[in-house]
Amino acid sequence: MLTGRKLAVTLAFTALVALAFGVSCKGFFTNPTITAITVGPTGVNLAPAGTLQMVASGTPSDGSPAQNVTNKCFWSSSNESAATVGQSTGLVTAAQTIANPPQTVTITASYQALTPATASLSVCPVVLTLVITASQTSFPAGTTPVITFTAVATFSGTNGNQNVVDEVTWNISNTNVISSISGGVATIPSGTTSGLSTQVSATLCNFTSQPVTITAQ
């Protein structure tokens, strides 16, 4: 049976061992650091006065699952006239009135000294109409004429037509007839075969126009 003195010595030794073990554990098992961040969602179309919660995910150095670091980042907007973002929350709020829609906004999240991460979005009212036209709908096969397209839209809450040729995404069903469209100007491959045709439409804020058919004759 342990005497009082021996018991005290034993307890003291046990405490020292536990303390040493705790220090040792802390030395070997350090908290992982965040090595990179990503931000999402991206490519979203946001209506005026709408909100969108951005999320920042951090990649830990030990390979463990990503961590939500949204509230640890500093957030900023590239176009505050179209949409602002809470500096510590990542909550995006679109302006109630949008001039010359759609407006593109880049949201940036900064975390410590890491490379900032970005996500883009568009702020756009509801598209009521989107009409495209082509300067010509046919051309001689084997030639490369200049075909230009127009794109005109009307939006909910705004008056009049707006030229959106630089804002739309062009959809081309057959790239052997028209390979691409930039600024409304079509690129036509050389050596186009007679009888080939393509349908061209435009998309803006999830609204797609009626197509125009272009034929190589």
Residue 5's pLDDT is 56
What's the whole-model pTM score?
0.64
pLDDT of residue 4: 54
**Comparing 34-123 with 127-216, is the CATH topology the same?**
yes
pLDDT at 3: 54
Q: Distance between CA 181 and CA 133 in Å, rounded?
A: 13
Domain ranges of the chain: 34-123, 127-216
pLDDT of residue 6: 57
**pLDDT by residue, tens only, the chain of 217 residues:** 445 555 554 554 554 444 444 444 444 456 889 999 999 999 998 989 999 999 999 999 999 999 999 999 999 999 999 999 999 999 999 999 888 788 999 999 999 999 999 999 999 988 999 999 999 999 999 999 999 999 999 988 777 888 999 989 999 999 999 999 999 999 999 989 999 999 999 999 889 999 999 999 9
- CATH number for the domain formed by residue range(s) 127-216: 2.60.40
Question: How much is the pLDDT for 14?
Answer: 56
Please state, as a whole number, how many other Cβ atoms lie within 10 Å of the Cβ of residue 12: 10
Q: Strands 67-68 and 74-77: what pairing?
A: unpaired
Please give the CATH topology (third level) of the domain spanning 34-123. Answer: Immunoglobulin-like (2.60.40)
**Per-residue DSSP letters for the chain?**
---HHHHHHHHHHHHHHHHHHHHHHHHH-PPPPEEEEEEE--SEEE-TT-EEE-EEEEEETTSPPPEE-GGGSEEEES-TTTEEE-TTT-EEEE-SS-SSS-EEEEEEEE-TTSPPEEEEEEE-PPEEEEEEEES-SEE-TT-----BEEEEEEETT--S-EE-TTTSEEEES-TTT--EEETTEEE--TTPPTT-EEEEEEEETTEEPPPEEEEE-
